[in-house]
A and B are shown apart, each in its own frame.
Chain A
Amino acid sequence: MIALFLRDIRLSWRAGGGALTGVMFFLAVVMVVPFGVGPDLNLLARIGPAMLWLGALLAALLGLDRLFQADREDGSLDLLIMNGAPMAAIVFIKCLAHWVTTGLPLVIAVPLFGLFMNMEPLGILATMATLMAGTPAITFVGAVGAAVTVSLPRGGLLLAVLVLPWTIPVLIFGVSAAYGAVEDPAPFTEPFIVLCAISLFFAVIGSLGAGAILTHSDH
């Protein structure tokens, strides 16, 4: 299992792996926002967390369609299914590796992108924490979508349409926790705990669901 994790990480850094495409896309989204809303620094600071979250959400969806597709095309998926390890465990490991190479860089990029949005340090820190807790949920829900669309040659868009509705709770609690940290009456802890719960919930449901779909998709 460690071998699978390391292989997926290594693959994403090699040619065509696309580990940093997510961050580039994130950068593109965050860069255009100030041009769209105008040079009002207070407004930018206020919508900062929400914009970062939206950018990160869209960036996290990017590349999810290849999560299982690459393994299916070269025949690796068949051998992983035959291997005897529970498919849910294999999905879990693959998601973890995917998150480390696409989700974690987004979190790390937040301090820089937060400056573009004129956010204060506390807000940046809160956004990092909420993204850290929330983006795994997007990966795990995305895994189910990736499993459903695994045999479709252009499944990316369908995957985004399938997965986006499920990420709405993640977005709501993520953004409200990030606001809670900077705006006084609003709470940080409660929405943050719910966000963590959503991530844990999707880690289980997503792994089991995607595992079941992959094992039976050919049947």
Chain B
Amino acid sequence: MHLSVSNLSAIRGGEMIFSDLGFELKETEALIITGHNGSGKSTLLRVVAGLLAPASGDVILTGHPDGASDDFNERPFGEHCHYLGHENAMKPALSVTENLDFWQKINDEPHLEIDEALEMVGLPALAHVPFGHLSTGQKRRISIAKLLVSWRPIWLLDEPTAGLDTRSEAQFADLMKVHLEDGGIILAATHIPLGLKNTKSLVMGLPAIETEQSI
């Protein structure tokens, strides 16, 4: 599996947000996108996810993971991604289990059981609590559990650790490591170190440079 993004530009409201961005990622690799506020990190992730049309450039995925169906590369790119945006995409009136169960059914390809996923984010006791009753950090962790209940090779994470305490951050770093070891790809926009080693990094708001480094 090889993700290749080339020559990508995005225009929002007549203003060029970024232009001529490019990077290459293959299985087990992560790209950390950094940059000051308004530099276009979120826009980049939304363009890659297919939620915004790019002004130019392509997002191309070649090859497919072991065991993937034959039409893997023909399906829209967004179908291979988990997108964790600023919002948690959960309904406050439904319980945690009902929310996760819904996304698992909608996304198909179940991965972990809901109980297991809640165990992984350290909130097994909250399964039947309405989502709206949780704290900000707990909500975020449930949203992270959503990434685990169905399998998507590519994770697009927009400020994934917003609202998390240090212990949960470490826990999330472990989950990301496991995902990379399973042959996944991660693109994360953040301004705090995520605790991953050997990641590629992309600094937005500067002339496009791509460097290999350890964070």
Contact = CB atoms under 8 A, between A and B. Distances in A.
A79 interface: yes
Contacts of A10: 94, 98
A218 B91 contact: no
Contacts of B66: none
Nearest to A76: B89
Contacts of B98: 7, 10
Given A75-B85, A83-B79, A219 B105 contact: no
A83 B83 CA distance: 10
A32 to B, nearest CB: 32
A74 B87 CA distance: 5
Contacts of B50: 82
Given A14-B93, A17-B93, A75 B107 contact: no
B52 A219 contact: yes
Given A11-B93, A74-B90, A76-B89, A84 B76 contact: yes
A3 to B, nearest CB: 4
- Label chain A's interface by main secondary structure: helix
B199 to A, nearest CB: 24
Interface in A3-47: 3-4, 7, 10-11, 14-17
Interface string B29-70: 000000000000000001001111100000000000000000
B51 A82 contact: yes
A112 B117 CA distance: 49
A81 interface: yes
Interface of B: 46, 49-53, 75-76, 78-79, 81, 83, 85-91, 93-94, 98, 101-103, 105-107
B19 to A, nearest CB: 18
A78 interface: yes
B89 A7 contact: no
B94 A14 contact: yes
19 contacts: A2-B105, A3-B105, A4-B102, A7-B98, A10-B94, A14-B94, A74-B90, A76-B90, A78-B51, A80-B106, A81-B51, A82-B49, A82-B50, A82-B81, A82-B83, A83-B79, A218-B46, A218-B51, A219-B52
Nearest to B87: A75
Contact of A75 (B86, B93, B105): B86
A120 interface: no
A75 B89 contact: yes
Contacts of B52: 218-219
A190 interface: no
A73 interface: yes
A83 B106 contact: yes
B89 A78 contact: yes
Given A78-B49, A82-B78, 16 more contacts: A2-B105, A3-B101, A3-B106, A10-B98, A74-B87, A74-B88, A79-B83, A79-B103, A82-B50, A82-B76, A82-B81, A83-B106, A84-B75, A84-B78, A218-B46, A218-B51
Nearest to B49: A82
Contact of A74 (B89, B102, B103): B89
Contacts of B101: 3
Interface string A38-81: 00000000000000000000000000000000000111101111
